[in-house]
A and B are shown apart, each in its own frame.
Chain A
Amino acid sequence: RAQDVPPYTEDCRSGTYPPSGQTFRGTVPWYKVNLDQAPHERWQQLISDKKIQLTALIQSIKNLAKSIFPSGKLIEIVDNDLPLLIGTLPAQYGEEMKGIADASGLPLGEVILFNIFYEVFTV
């Protein structure tokens, strides 16, 4: 079948909505974020619900970094030097990241790295 050959181009699908079946992994939960709260406090509920999943993601990125730079130097730079950027970021976002780091127990540098991933990966 032609569609089984890379790049696996299918005939246009139909009848997939409402989502179900093999291409559907689940619905996305809703949360509220109160912008009247101090930036440091805004993400507490979300982080407390998803702390394990967030930690797993960051750990996986660290493992990847370690496989490329086994000395651990890159992680050291992220943990020690990246937090120096926080004061230069737009104020409310910097405070929000600090709040996320405090609530999750993750090093601030790793939270910052996650938040500037786009700029890092556009090459």
Chain B
Amino acid sequence: CTSLVAEDKSGKLYHARNLDFGLFLGWDVKNNSWMVTELLRPLVVNVNFQRNNKTVFLSTSFVGYVGMLTGMKPGVFTLTMNERFSIDGGYLGILEWILGKRSGAWMSFLTRSVLENATSYDEAKTLLSKTKMLAPAYFILGGNKSGEACVITRSRESCLDIWELDIKQGRWYVLETNYDHWKEPLFIDNRRAPGMKCMNKTTQENISFATIYDVLSTKPVLNKLTTYTALMAVSDAKLEAYLRDCPDPCIPW
């Protein structure tokens, strides 16, 4: 996955992502594609969750999956999560859960609960950084005020790092793939450098849905695992999602 939050010159925040899923889950030799990724695309839906006929939050999701990977509380915050691989992974959390140690939260239920119940950027940030979890993860969170965006790097037990937007230091966007931002990505899976190169080339003056979509359409940020691209602008309560394809030549991940 690739997620980013960027702030334009007027202080407006944009949050976008490519959702990549299905690595090693069956390669279709005939069509040069991942089988599960192909089957996931028709299941992508945008959902408006309502209570008393009023929107509580918006989400791009997969039918049958009750947790959330991409969502927005209009006017309040935006949230995406990226997978964080670790030996101390979710399978250990599941094992602990089965054995009765149930103090951790399931990742996608936590994000759903945050989207449903948190009422501010700060509250969402606290919940995502402090709740014990069954699996490690990256949470990419955007607010509705200038400077409100961060990447929260989580292990199962604790928050390892919070990487924040810092306009004064010239950090007008944060971009996260599936590696700790202070370490080099795996050399055969470097989507971070091409993504950052395109963001830098775009410049803060020109950031918009259109230019962010361009960044997320550039290979290998766009790859054979990309199921959808979602674009969010919290101040406009605007969420757009598009199904993606990556015709050859295209890296499988």
**By the criterion CB–CB under 8 Å, are B249 and A4 in contact?**
yes
Residue A71 is within 8 A (CB to CB) of chain B in the complex: no
Number of A-B contacts defined by CB within 8 Å: 214
User: Is the beta-carbon distance between B245 and A24 smaller than 8 angstroms?
Assistant: yes
Chain B positions within 8 Å of A69 at CB level: none
Q: Contact string, A12-41, partner B, CB cutoff 8 A, digits 1/0?
A: 111111110011111111111111100000
A119 touches B46 (CB 8 A): no
Chain A nearest CB from B29 CB (Å) reads 14
Q: Verify A12–B45 contact, CB threshold 8 A.
A: no
Asked if B207 is an interface residue, CB under 8 A from chain A, the answer is: no
Nearest Cβ distance between residue B64 and chain A, in whole angstroms?
5
The prevalent SS among residues of A at the interface is: mixed
B167 touches A (CB below 8 Å): no
Given A17-B213, A89-B106, the answer on whether A50 and B85 have CB atoms closer than 8 Å is no
CA A54 – CA B64 in complex, angstroms?
A: 7
Among B46, B109, B136, B218, the residue within 8 A (CB) of A13 is B218
Residues of B215-234 whose CB lies within 8 A of A: 215, 217-220, 222, 228-229
Binary flags per residue of B192-225, CB closer than 8 Å to A gives 1, else 0: 0010011001100000011101110111101000
Cβ contact within 8 Å between A12 and B201: yes
Q: Assess the A16–B213 pair: CB atoms within 8 A.
A: yes
Question: Which of chain B's residues has its CB closest to A123's CB?
Answer: B89
Q: Point out which of A26, A100, A122 has the most chain B C-beta atoms below 10 A from its C-beta.
A: A122
> What is the total number of residues of chain B having a CB less than 8 Å from a CB of chain A?
80
Checking A15, A53, A116 against B63 with a beta-carbon cut-off of 8 angstroms, the contacting residue is A53
Stretch at the interface among B3-11, B47-55, B119-127, B169-177: B47-55
Is the CB of B32 closer than 8 A to any CB of chain A? Answer: no
Contacts of B251 in A (CB 8 A): 6-8
Chain B residues with CB under 8 Å of A120's CB are 90-91, 94
Q: Say whether B237 faces chain A, with CB atoms less than 8 Å apart.
A: no
Question: How many residues on the A side are at the interface (Cβ–Cβ under 8 A)?
Answer: 63
Q: Is the CB of A30 within 8 A of B94?
A: no
Whether the Cβ atoms of A35 and B64 lie closer than 8 Å is no
Across the interface, B86 reaches (CB within 8 A) one of A63, A90, A97, A122, namely: A122
Tell me which residues from 108 to 123 in chain A have a Cβ below 8 Å from any Cβ of chain B.
111, 114-116, 118-123
**Min CB distance, B15 to chain A, in Å?**
16
Known A119-B107, A120-B90, A122-B89: A22·B45 in contact at CB below 8 Å:
no
User: Are A115 and B218 neighbours in the complex by a CB distance under 8 Å?
Assistant: no
Q: Do A23 and B249 touch (CB < 8 A)?
A: no
Q: Which residues of B contact A (CB under 8 A)?
A: 25-26, 35-36, 39-52, 56, 60, 63-67, 83-87, 89-91, 93-94, 97-98, 102, 106-109, 112-113, 116, 134-137, 188-190, 194, 197-198, 201-202, 209-211, 213-215, 217-220, 222, 228-229, 241-247, 249-251
- Of the A-B pairs whose beta carbons lie under 8 Å apart in the complex, a sample of 14, sorted by A's number, is A3-B249, A8-B251, A13-B218, A18-B210, A28-B243, A30-B46, A32-B49, A35-B50, A46-B47, A50-B63, A53-B43, A54-B64, A57-B64, A118-B67
The list of the 3 closest CB pairs from A to B, nearest first, reads A119-B90, A25-B243, A123-B89
